[in-house]
Amino acid sequence: MPVTAFSVPADGAVEGALDELAEPSVPRRKEHIRHAAVADILAAAEAVFARAGFAGATMAEIAEAAGIPKANLHYYFRTKDSLYQAVLDNTLTLWLSQTDSITSDSDPATALGDYIRAKMRLTATHPDASRVFANEMLHGAPHIGDYLRNELKTLVDQKARVLEQWAQQGRMDAVDPRHLFFTIWAATQTYADFQPQVCAVLGKTRLSRAELERATDQLVKLILKGCGIKFA
């Protein structure tokens, strides 16, 4: 086996290389700081928009919830519109990325089961995001109507063709795939959007992790059985 020749750098060069490995570069640190700041702002904005709605929320209130000066908030988001749009965009990105497991080569029980479980996890971790989205829908989707009619429709059409292919192959019943997605969205998001109702009926003050896990298992079984999909 041939040996590749190399030169040994001077001690100073070695130390410099080790320093670069030990500490991220200034641009990387700045990007990390920016990413963390934006994440904190989006989380605060989700909570405020969920409680007050778009019309009732103020940038001052969001800045206070994020624990930053209002000027800092405006550094990242110049207007309330742009921040609200970012919250919706982030929510859709989180939700729709979970459909990646639904492919023609996937096992239907695994793919749909994983999708339902992922949606329920997001309901638990981002309940306010779900409520902001629901409020946007109740007002006629003025900020994301074009996205729903274009990107979302295209994605759902693609995944619908996968489910239709599964049905043709006898791997599931021939159900309307688009209405199946509506059912999954409604069944998972209700645990965030209608949490007070759910808690009241269950006699709980809040939903525990164990309660959400039981609900998730129930949803997976109901939906897979309803689609004629065999599962362990």
Indicate whether 25 belongs to any domain: yes
108 and 166 housed in the same domain:
yes
CB 193 within 8 A of CB 132: no
Residue 37 belongs to a domain with what CATH number? 1.10.10.60
Task: Work out the pLDDT band at 31, boundaries 50, 70, 90.
Answer: confident
65 and 162 housed in the same domain:
no
- Rounded CA separation 62/51 (Å): 11
Res 4 pLDDT > 60: no
Supply the pLDDT for residue 29: 79
139 and 215 housed in the same domain:
yes
Domain end point (choices 78, 103, 133): 78
Domain end point (choices 28, 48, 78): 78
Domains in the chain, number: 2
Indicate whether 84 belongs to any domain: no
CB 117 within 8 A of CB 61: no
Structural domain boundaries, residue 137: 89-226
Indicate whether 232 belongs to any domain: no
Task: Work out the pLDDT band at 139, boundaries 50, 70, 90.
Answer: very high
- Dump pLDDT digits (tens) for 186-203: 999 999 999 999 999 999
Task: Work out the pLDDT band at 2, boundaries 50, 70, 90.
Answer: very low
Res 18 pLDDT > 50: no
Res 54 pLDDT > 80: yes
CB 50 within 8 A of CB 128: yes
Res 100 pLDDT > 70: yes
Name the pTM for this structure.
Answer: 0.82
129 and 164 housed in the same domain:
yes
Indicate whether 206 belongs to any domain: yes
Indicate whether 2 belongs to any domain: no
126 and 208 housed in the same domain:
yes
